[in-house]
Structure 1
Amino acid sequence: MKRSLKDIMFVQSDKHDVGYVLRICAIAALGGILFGYDTAVISGAVGSLQSYFHLSPAEIGWAVSNVLLGCILGAAVSGWLADRFGRRPTLAVSAVLFTASAIGAALATGFAWFVVYRFIGGVAVGVASSVSPMYMSEVSPKDMRGRALYMESFAIVGGQLAVFIVNYLIARSATEEWLTNVGWRWMLGSEVIPCIVFCAAIFFMPESPRWHVLRGRDDDAMQTLTRISNEQHARSVLTEIKDSLEHKIETSDLGRAVASKGARWIIFVGASVAMLQQLTGVNSMMYYAPLVLGSVSGSVQNALFQTIWIGVASVSGAVLGSWVIDHKGRLPLFRFGSIGMIIGLLVASWALYTQTQGYSALAGMLVYMLLFGLSWGPLTWVLIAEIFPNRIRGVGMSIAVSANWVMNFIVSQLFPMIAQNQRLDSLFHGALPMWLFALFTLFSWWFVERYVPETKGIALEKIESVMLAPKRQPKASTATVPKDGLTDIPGQK
């Protein structure tokens, strides 16, 4: 019998309280909404910022990409913060930083102060982008983990869509002079509203049971696990968690744990997937969509309106993906999505190269964003939230998410310098970056096919042995996987 999206997302399981899991994951996903809102709000303001602060192409890149340096810092410290203080308090810190950044950037009187406050927002994004999916993976039962983690991606693209609509509504009837002097401040300041909601909602989510076990608070962990499922299942899960942490790694041993062969390989795969996501070019479209579409759309207002549909396509892809991920698996979505993204990039690039007026470029970008929202967008966050062993999950996710933001910074800084280079623009009319992204997407598809295993339906405590299957590793660096599936992390037998 066919099941609807509502059935798949919300019907009660015999073992789990699906509604409760999705509610607490939805609160954590508010960090994703702010992640999407904060990173995409600049797309509507970048043209006004260029005029207001008299920025060169390199400075435009800096206005957009400086926030990504903050993301790198936030992601780098997120693992330590989450392991030391807990997942929930760390998310609370990010909520406060989001609020301070939105207010400060909206009121900035000079470009230097604008950069400072955007950097603070970047730190918040870096923390939330690591800890939100970490928390969601740790409170979700294995047979609905993909569904729950898709909420993070849905929240990110939902935040992006929301800000695209807000930016358009602000600019719809405005004069160019008003947008240059005041409009961009309203765009940036509008983020305060979701910030306040996130700050309030955090108090209604429990701490991660896996963090409680790490801290020896088994009773607290048992209470949350029982609320998620039932007492019998909760005891079974608690035993699995405790077994995976039987030999607890102290801070002084963490470096050796990360340096072990098995851990190095898993971190390499996680960080590579995270970087490859950015090389597909998604955030260049998110940050610079109005500039890309400006040459073929006719006006700033038209470009901002068309950008809304890019957000709609991304959200639609996330909804479709959440429908099938726990049934079809991760790898089929990667395959299908990569092919569609390449096709979309080629269509958009051809429209730009030939300077075809109308909706051809937008159509290609819509295809790309729909398939990205179905595949590489959410699946990257699903994988890096799944694949790291409990002992090194905090530091592993920090490294992977930091790698994602480093590549995001590189791509975002270079994109306007390539797209607005007079010689390259005269030759390719803005199509060159799209061609490069298509090639990188093809390579990314190959990497996943070669080195990433299917993780559908596998408990977090069991994924490690799947990740270290010899066929997934180069012969020179194949780690030994003992019969119990554990790597040579110090303290393991």
Structure 2
Amino acid sequence: MNKHNILYATFICCIASLSGVMLGYDASVISGVIEPLTKHFTLSPAESGWAVSNVLFGCIFGAWIVGAISNKYGRKVTLIFAAILFLISAVGSALATNFFWFVVYRMIGGFAVGMASAITPLYIAEVSPRDYRGRMLGLQQLLMVGGQLVVYIVNYGIVRGMDPEWVTSLGWRWMLASEMVPIAMFLILVFFMPESPRWYAMVNKDKKALGVLSRLSNLDHAKQLLSEIKESINLEQAQEKVSLDARQILTNPKTRFIVLIGCVIATLQQLIGINILLYYAPSLLKNINADIQDSLFQSIFLGAANFFGVSIALFLVDKVGRKPLLKFGTIGCAICLVLTSAAFVMGIKGYFPVVTLVLFVFIFGLTWSLGAWLIMSEIFPNRMRAVGMGIAFSAMYISNFAVTQSFPMMNRSDYLMEKFNGSFPLIMCAVFCIVGFWFVGRFLPETRGVSLEKIEPLMLSRSKRFREEAEKEKSEKQSEVVMN
């Protein structure tokens, strides 16, 4: 008898992954909006940055509290609530009469992004068979970058052949309103999803948990898996009595180490520089191409590169592993950023800097786009998964805010433009790529093929080893002082 109902698991993971389309669409639609919006409301460089980065304040708050909400009401209800917030944001920002209300509605959308970005991979991880978990989680990433690709095409389609004045007055509103289409699709299909069986088990609804597990597998295997889940939850609570409260998680040395790993991976994913291209692709490309329509058209190639990179990653992540892909990604992205920076500094026009940026996005999609999200959904134990992922995603959005708020000011700085010709942000991102290579190699264990219930011992063994190394190093230094 087949142990897993892969068809049903794929079906519900595809529905959950539609939230990725909303995430990608919401994140990237601003790339086409920001230039006409800046002209429409006569924004300063700092205000242009705020027009993009204000979303991240909502993201931080949404990611931080999503654990408490999903633990109380369930993963499915949380996803529905996030989709409703997406809808309010899309309509409100498209109809905004001034910059203040534009920011308010975009911040509501950010709250939805923060919730959905943390809860979707959590839900998929909890319903996926362990041997297929990487590919199932990859579906969300694939649809997210697919949403980014679609929005680049839609943005270009809206402005193509149109008068610049129309784009400045109305075109950007149509870009924002187009997000309502994927939101409506998700709200219709989400009701075909079951609740997470691991959430049912956590709130002692074992009969319902067994029902969902039986649909995902066969009855005998479902009973065995439910027993493992309950044993894991009970053992965690009996041995450590660690609740799902963020304060207790952060003050416990064992759980704090796991959260630290998740937060650093989340932060590095942003500092590598992908969101400079997602949010500001046309603005960045204007450094080598003055025509906004050409810049929007070239942005499509960036979206396509990310999509194809993630598509290939789906087949590699459960075969090659998470750690090798992340290490390769940091080196590949660093090389592409250095080459692009050199092209900017030397004033090389044409396709060379576009090709190097496309290659950067492809390598990122192949490695960190899926790999980082997968790591963040795997490393947290059952009792702290929702809250832990919320903390990690909050760290991700804080670093995202720093990147998106500072880029317009760096890109429009007369001094930096004179010295670096628009390449300064890319050089900084290349440095963080090198930091990422070191961190992944030293601190991150491989989680490929490990069940969710058995990842915590793997993480804690790594934590113990580093504590022992630190104590040994401290002891050696003390011995040297005594001898001297």
SS in 2 for 1:155: helix
**Pairing partner for 2:27 from 16, 39, 60:** 39
Q: Distance in 2 between matches of 1:64 and 1:253?
A: 31
The answer to whether residue 146 in structure 2 is matched with residue 154 in structure 1 is no
Q: CA deviation at 1:435?
A: 0.8
Deviation at 1:141, TM superposition (A): 0.8
- 1:326-337 residue pairs with structure 2 within 5 A? 326-337=318-329
Among 363, 367, 370, the residue aligned to 2:355? 363
C-alpha displacement of 1:431: 0.6
When residues 339 and 295 of structure 1 are mapped into structure 2, their CA distance, relative to the original with a 3 A threshold, is: same
The answer for unaligned runs of 5 or more in structure 2 is 472-484
**Against the structure 1 CA distance between its residues 182 and 229, is the aligned structure 2 distance closer, same or farther, given a 3 Å change threshold?**
same
| d(CA) in 2 for partners of 1:235, 1:258 | 33
In the other structure, the counterpart of 1:491 is: none
Compared with structure 1, are the counterparts of its residues 439 and 135 closer, same or farther at alpha carbon in structure 2 (3 Å cutoff)?
same
The reply on whether 1:197 has 2:189 as its aligned counterpart is no
1:232-271 map, 5 Å:
232-246=220-234, 248=237, 255-271=247-263
In the aligned structure 1, how far is the partner of 2:280 from the partner of 2:464?
A: 37
Alignment of 1:26-425 (within 5 A): 26-246=14-234, 248=237, 255-425=247-417
Describe the shift of the 1:98–1:473 C-alpha distance in structure 2 as closer, same or farther (beyond 3 A). farther
Alpha-carbon distance between aligned partners in 2 of 1:81 and 1:253, rounded to the nearest angstrom: 12
- Classify the secondary structure of the residue corresponding to 2:60: helix
Distance 2:287 2:377 in 1: 39
d(CA) in 2 for partners of 1:67, 1:473:
39
Moved more, 158-167 or 290-299: 290-299
Checking the alignment, whether the CA contact within 8 Å between 1:15 and 1:230 is kept in structure 2 is: yes
User: Under a length normalisation based on structure 2, what TM-score does the superposition of the two structures give?
Assistant: 0.94
The equivalent residue for 1:20 is 8
Q: CA deviation at 1:474?
A: 2.9
Q: Identity over aligned residues, as a percent? A: 45
Whether the 8 Å contact between 1:27 and 1:201 is mirrored in structure 2 is: yes
CA RMSD of aligned residues (A): 1.6
Q: 1:295 Cα shift?
A: 2.6
Write the deviation string for residues 150-193 of structure 1: whole angstroms up to 9, x where unpaired.
11211211111110000000011111100000000000000011
In the aligned structure 2, how far is the partner of 1:320 from the partner of 1:157? Answer: 13
CA distance change for structure 1 residues 257 and 301 in 2, over 3 Å: closer, same or farther?
closer
Note the alpha carbon deviations across 1:8-53, whole angstroms, 9 max, x for none: xxxxx93211121111111111111111100110000110011000
Q: 1:343–1:364: 8 Å Cα contact kept in structure 2?
A: no
Distance, in Å, in 2 between the alignment partners of 1:409 and 1:329 is 30
> How many Å separate the matches in 2 of 1:342 and 1:367?
11
* C-alpha distance in 2 between matches for 1:376 and 1:282: 10
Tell me the secondary structure at the aligned position of residue 318 of structure 2. Answer: helix
Higher alpha-carbon deviation: 334-343 or 158-167? 334-343
Native 8 Å contact 2:244 2:384 kept in 1: no
Deviation (angstroms), 1:196:
0.7
For 2:455, the equivalent position in structure 1 comes to 463
Determine if contact 2:242/2:249 at 8 Å carries over to the other structure.
no
Deviations 1:279-318 (A, max 9, x none): 1011011111101101322411110000000000000000
Deviation string 1:172-227 (CA, Å, 9 cap, x unpaired) is 11111000000000000000111111111110100000000011111111111111
- 1:348 CA displacement: 1.4
Offset at 1:391? 0.7
TM, length-normalised to structure 1: 0.92
CA distance in 1, matches of 2:315, 2:283: 33
> Which residue identity does 1:106 align to in structure 2?
A
C-alpha spacing 1:379/1:470, structure 2 compared with 1 (3 Å): closer
